[in-house]
Amino acid sequence: MLQALWLSALVVLLDQVSKLAVMATLHDYQVITVWPVFDLTLVYNTGAAFSFLSDAGGWQRWFFILFAALVSLVMVVWLGRLQPNERLTGYGLALIIGGALGNLIDRIWLGKVVDFLQWHWQDWYWPAFNLADSAITLGVILLLADTLFGGRAAGQPDQKSSDRKS
């Protein structure tokens, strides 16, 4: 399933191009309303999800760089050990790897992650995120679907029903 790494590369490319375009177009914290519930706004996150550890004093940058690199490496090894019929898991892992590497690039070069997508409803705002975060989320959903539904989510027969037929 290492051939699924094309998806990781695509995620990194789209993530980095979108971030460069937003940084070239918007000023920090500038808001452009796209829909009544969706804005583009340039913000930076020195922490992890939902700005976790963003005010930790700087050590978190190196921790998250190391963590993202190690997790990505483990997932590439996992991807390489998958069987061809484990496509759902493979694509889930590839999306997570691409997202992790997209944000890793930001941390290495900028010391923070560029976020610019923001959903909101009236006065309630979801924290800003980026395409890498979206890929990670979709990848986790695919892994959960594969865990919950087994091969059925990928069109594979249910193991229990296969056992009953034999």
Q: Of the candidates 68, 63, 89, which has an alpha carbon nearest to the alpha carbon of residue 78?
A: 89
DSSP 38: E
C-alpha span between 45 and 54 (Å, rounded):
7
C-alpha span between 104 and 92 (Å, rounded):
18
DSSP 157: P
**Residue 87: Cβ within 10 Å count:** 19
Choosing from 28, 115, 146, 158, the catalytic residue is 115
Check if 115 is active-site. Answer: yes
Choosing from 15, 106, 133, 146, the catalytic residue is 133
Q: Are 90 and 1 in contact (CB under 8 A)?
A: yes
User: Would you please indicate which residues are annotated as catalytic (active-site) residues?
Assistant: 115, 133
